[in-house]
Chain A
Amino acid sequence: MESSYETVVIGGGVVGNSIAYHLSERYQEGILVLDKKYPMTGTSGSTQAWVWVHNKTPSWYAEFSMYSAELYPYLSKKIGDVEYKRTGGLSPFFAEKDREKAKQLADSYRKIGIKIKVLSREEVLEKEPSINPNVAGATYSSIDGNVNPFRLIDMYMRAAKKNGVQYSTYNKVTSIEKQNGTFMVTSDKKTYVCKNLILAGGTWSRELGNLLGIDIPVNQLRGQIIVTEPLKPFLNYTISGLRQAINGEVLIGYSMEKAGFDRSTTLDVIQETANMAVHYVPSLRKAKIVRAFSGIRAMPEDGFPILGKVPGHENLYVAATHSGVTLSPLIGTLLTELILDGETSVPIDRYSLSRFA
């Protein structure tokens, strides 16, 4: 393997892989992706993988998510079948007081071109007959959906490799130095020299930044999920909290805990998750669960993506975000534009690391 590259991407999760793939569409040589373990070991392999736009606030962030969701059909054409389904997304509410909030949401989204419907109880039950008949209503958006995260990352990697991208896995970066305008990236296996360096460390972004003396304020937020046995197809929509995969299994969970890097599953949260499942979809009572798992979200301090150039460091870029599955097609596209053209087709100034300074 070479030791000199045009661009090194640190992090082979959904974000790093998307950047590497999109870069490789423009130039075929000199791209290396480093992963401390193997892609999907971390966050990107432990997610329900909704491609989710509606209910994201403020509306400018929803708009950013929408542009990414819009890229998915085209992406699947390019890299292959990633089991992307634009099912439409349903967020049920059970208290009448939430209807006003739902209407406010719909109003503010209409201005940016995202259509959300506020459904009555009858309309929800018509769309999704399995929902608890005590539901008060739901917000609905047709742009939401889901994807198979394993297929997504595998296909990103295959397409990138076909375009000449090299991967080195089980190869943790231990130090980074800047010398004469190039970066020297030392890892468990080797020292690499590169012109452009992209930090896509996800949950480990803070640690990665420390190697360069940069503060990348990303924290960890645990989510726990339960998986049922394959059931007959019966859920029509991606429901905020659960969704049915193509093979019939239902993934359930929407929990948030500050637990650092601890990926345990815990009985209390799993029980709460089971309660949510039977509260939303009562017929799931009789479904068997085969597994529980937990994943750690990469959560920037203010909740929004950190994207773009690292201020004061030429040719150094960062991409650290939660909702990496939803945002990966757009982030890959925009970082490629930024690196090769110096500007992006969708503004990302708002997401600069400089906002934390």
Chain B
Amino acid sequence: MDKTTIICRCEEINCEEIEEAIGHDARTFDDIKRLTRCGMGPCQAKICISLVADVIHEQTGSHLHEIPLPRMRMPISPIKLETLATNSTTFSSVKSVMDEVELEEGKVR
């Protein structure tokens, strides 16, 4: 890999950008992700995960088994919102900002 090698294809992040993040003391995939967007695209780090680990290893000397994996989250592979939606309009954990406005004797506190 040279400096211009693309590590994250989704977000077009090259090796030099990963190295710069490590220069700012980023030590894990997720640290680097939040600084550069590496791994935030549609593939969700499936392509860049081991390449980034290689760069961390080269720059810091950490062994590969010591480098934490990125946190994978649902849905793993992109799905449409309508697949998740149940079309209910009753909410419990999800709030509306208007519901949070507190009135006291008919007036805003």
Contacts and interface: CB of A to CB of B under 8 A. Distances in A.
A122 interface: no
A67 interface: no
A272 B96 contact: no
A311 B75 CA distance: 48
Interface string B97-108: 110111100111
Contact of A93 (B74, B78, B85, B96): B96
A57 B95 contact: no
Interface in B1-52: 24-28, 30-31, 34-35, 37, 40-42, 44
B25 A57 contact: no
A234 interface: no
Contacts of A232: none
B82 to A, nearest CB: 4
B32 to A, nearest CB: 10
A228 B78 CA distance: 9
Given A254-B94, A255-B94, 11 more contacts: A55-B98, A57-B108, A101-B103, A150-B34, A224-B93, A240-B98, A265-B73, A269-B93, A271-B84, A278-B81, A289-B80
29 contacts: A38-B25, A38-B26, A40-B31, A40-B34, A57-B108, A58-B109, A91-B97, A98-B98, A101-B98, A105-B108, A150-B37, A169-B25, A170-B27, A224-B93, A229-B78, A241-B97, A254-B96, A265-B74, A271-B85, A275-B86, A275-B87, A278-B81, A278-B87, A285-B80, A289-B79, A289-B80, A290-B44, A291-B75, A292-B75
Interface of A: 38, 40-41, 45, 55, 57-59, 91, 93, 98, 101-102, 104-105, 107-109, 139, 150, 154, 157, 167, 169-170, 224, 226, 228-229, 240-241, 253-257, 265, 267-279, 284-293
